[in-house]
């Protein structure tokens, strides 16, 4: 996606299934939720992990994931990211 497209959207509040909070930067990774993870002897794909742990059925496992720039190991299916308009009456994320 062209950077000018996202800049044109202005500030937004994003929610991802991550601990903490505060202001963070999302980046798109080249990995999809079909990526394998976990110990070598019991590897599962990310989509299966999100179903087992979070109860989230990933509808489009072929889509690329996003991650928090401040924590590159924190990859999430893009379907798990909620985007809300940012308003001046709420504190910035």
In which band, very low, low, confident or very high, does the pLDDT at 1 lie, cut at 50, 70 and 90?
very low
**Euclidean distance between CA atoms 15 and 12, whole angstroms:** 10
Percent residues over pLDDT 90 in the chain:
23
- Per-chain mean pLDDT for the chain: 77
Contacts made by residues 50-58, CB under 8 angstroms, sequence distance 24+: 50/77, 50/80, 54/17, 54/80, 56/80, 58/33
Q: What is the pTM of this model?
A: 0.65
Mean pLDDT of 36-54: 91
More confident residue, 10 or 70: 70
**CATH class in words for 12-85:** mainly beta
Residue 8 pLDDT greater than 50, yes or no: yes
């Amino acid at each position: 996606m062209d950077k000018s497209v996202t800049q044109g959207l202005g500030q937004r509040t994003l929610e991802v299934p991550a601990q903490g909070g505060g202001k963070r930067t999302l980046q798109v990774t080249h990995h999809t939720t079909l990526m394998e993870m976990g110990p070598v002897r019991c590897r599962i794909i990310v989509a299966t992990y999100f179903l087992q742990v979070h109860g989230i059925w990933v509808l489009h496992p072929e889509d690329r994931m996003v991650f928090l720039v401040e924590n590159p190991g924190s990859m999430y299916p893009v379907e798990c990211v909620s985007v809300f308009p940012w308003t001046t009456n709420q504190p910035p994320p």
